[in-house]
Amino acid sequence: MTCCYDTVVFDLDGTLIESHEGIFRSLMYALGEMGCASPGEQDMRRFIGPPLQRSFVDVLGMSEEDARRATEIYRSRYKDKCLEESAVYTGIPELLARLKRCGAVLAVATGKPQGMTDKILQHFRLAEYFSCIVGTDEKTVTNDKSRLIERVLAGREGRTVMIGDTRFDRQGAKDCGIAFVGAGYGYGTPEELGADEGVPVAADVNGLLALLLEDAPVPRGVFITVEGLDGCGKTTQMNALEQALKRFGYDVLRTREPGGCPVSEKIRDIVLDRGHPEMLPMTEALLYASARAQHVGQIILPALKKGRLVLCDRYVDSSIAYQGGGRMLGMDRVADINAYATGGLLPDISVYLDAGVSAALERRFGVGGADRIEMEPSEFHTRVSDAFEKLIQNQSSRYLVVDARADAESVTRECFKKVMDKLRVMEGVSSFG
């Protein structure tokens, strides 16, 4: 697999980052402060791409002096809000990682001030992908993207492409004599990107990848599982992790076990039904494994084959711990049954929320509505906990252990940081400059 280009230069807003919310709100704030009416959405979109001060003049007909003041007010709000009011486009981290793996040099050229650009790229953990990040200094007011691109190109040779979502990006690429690919999912129109004139324009990030790679079989995605004792706070942390990964651009499929698809959800109802205390441990283990076989075949593998990030609430390790350890069927035996059920598919990353047996059970029973497994006595849950510990020791390279005794927000922060660090290592980011 090779990239068609040696250097790939990206615009920021509308290409890497979906930024309209912060921009529109800051615009309305600045205009409100100046006693001006807010423009319609169509006009507000014209502010994304060109330098701000220019747009106040060109779009709203302000005097240079008013435009300068409006820009100052806008920035006073935007600098604090830009992080929480923007997100990375879905699939961007995977795209950047793949381009780097192909040996392409990646860069950013944006009309946004340099400080803000660095701050945004660092916050979304994208900065590490780029060898060169060029923004404007506060005083530069120009529509001329070519000056920014030239700074990226200084001293570089080889095939280069600019990726951007507005006519300014297209013009800049043309002026610098480099290729251009339109980010049609951004804020420009297909016409201004040249779609009618044969310019390649990508409808989404996957389409962009296909235009940049010569032979682009979709890679295997990433498989992340979250494990822990009942009551360890898994649901809260799954919600937070899912939201954070999405905001950081990952194409997340969230699912759960037992369940995750209609057949497996029916098996879930049977296996957790409190009305069947007579269920044998082996029956239970096989039901979990058969639910899993369907889930892997129907949901997990197809998503991984599309290059998605699968985030699964429990997986094989729960069976090894609960049925192998808790029910005393033997950890190896349960692992064997599950290897057959899953075709040997194991997660790339497993997060273990370590709450300790007593704290977890206290929390679980505080909530009420225990299922058949949760109703087991504390010795059962102690055996489950011991089995998880053994698994973590044996499979330490894929496990991330997070102390789940702290307050929920701290747990979320630690969990996300550990997952992102591991993803970056897997994506090979640390091995590039």
Q: Is the Cβ–Cβ distance between 135 and 82 less than 8 Å?
A: no
**DSSP H stretches of helix in 105-188:** 114-123, 145-153, 167-176
> What's the CA gap between 111 and 258, in Å, rounded?
49
15, 86, 319, 342: which one binds ligand TYD (CB under 6 A): 319
Q: Is 399 in the site for ligand TYD (CB under 6 A)?
A: no
Beta-carbon contacts of residue 425 (< 8 Å; ≥ 6 apart): none
Q: Which of 180, 322, 352, 380 binds ligand TYD (CB under 6 A)?
A: 322
Helix (H) or strand (E) segment spanning residue 237? helix 234-247
Which residue lies nearer to ligand TYD by CB, 54 or 390?
Answer: 390
Q: Does 124 bind ligand TYD (CB under 6 A)?
A: no
Distance CA 202, CA 186 (A): 10
Please choose, from the candidates 242, 251, 308, the residue with its C-alpha nearest in 3D space to the C-alpha of residue 89: 251
- Which region, judged by CB under 6 A, interacts with ligand TYD, from 57-65, 178-186, 312-320, 399-407? 312-320
* Nearest CA-CA partner of 112 in 235, 22, 238: 22
- Residue 257 contacts ligand TYD per CB under 6 A: yes
* 183, 206, 207 from 216: Cα distances, Å: 18, 10, 10
Per-residue x/- track, 346-385, ligand TYD (CB under 6 A): -------------------------x-xx-----------
> What minimum distance in Å lies between the beta carbon of 285 and ligand TYD?
8
By C-alpha distance, which of 151, 123, 156 is closest to 137? Answer: 151
Point out the residue whose Cβ comes nearest to ligand TYD: 322
Token couple for 407? 């307050």
22 binds ligand TYD (CB under 6 A): no
And the tokens for 333? Answer: 């035996």
Q: Is 288 in the site for ligand TYD (CB under 6 A)?
A: yes
Closest CA relative to residue 250, chosen from 94, 86, 416: 94
What's the closest the beta carbon of residue 271 comes to ligand TYD, in angstroms?
7
User: Token digits for 143?
Assistant: 């529509």
Binding of ligand TYD at residue 314 (CB under 6 A)? yes
Stretch that binds ligand TYD, among 98-106, 251-259, 351-359, 420-428 (CB under 6 A): 251-259
What is the smallest separation between the CB atom of 217 and ligand TYD, expressed in angstroms?
32
In terms of CB distance, is 55 or 318 closer to ligand TYD? Answer: 318
Piece of 39-47, 144-152, 316-324, 342-350 that binds ligand TYD (CB under 6 A): 316-324
Q: How far is the CB of 326 from ligand TYD (least distance, A)?
A: 7
Residue (of 152, 150, 153, 116) closest to 134 by Cα position: 152
With CB under 6 A, what is the number of residues at the site for ligand TYD?
A: 16
Residue 136 is a binding residue for ligand TYD (CB under 6 A): no
Contacts of 380 (CB under 8 A, 6+ apart): 326, 327
Closest CB to ligand TYD among 202 and 373?
Answer: 373
What is the smallest separation between the CB atom of 417 and ligand TYD, expressed in angstroms? 23
In sign, the C-alpha dihedral spanning 288, 294, 298, 301 is positive
Among residues 182 and 258, whose Cβ is nearest to ligand TYD? 258
Residues at the interface with ligand TYD (CB under 6 A) = 230, 235, 256-258, 272, 288, 313-314, 318-319, 322-323, 371, 373-374
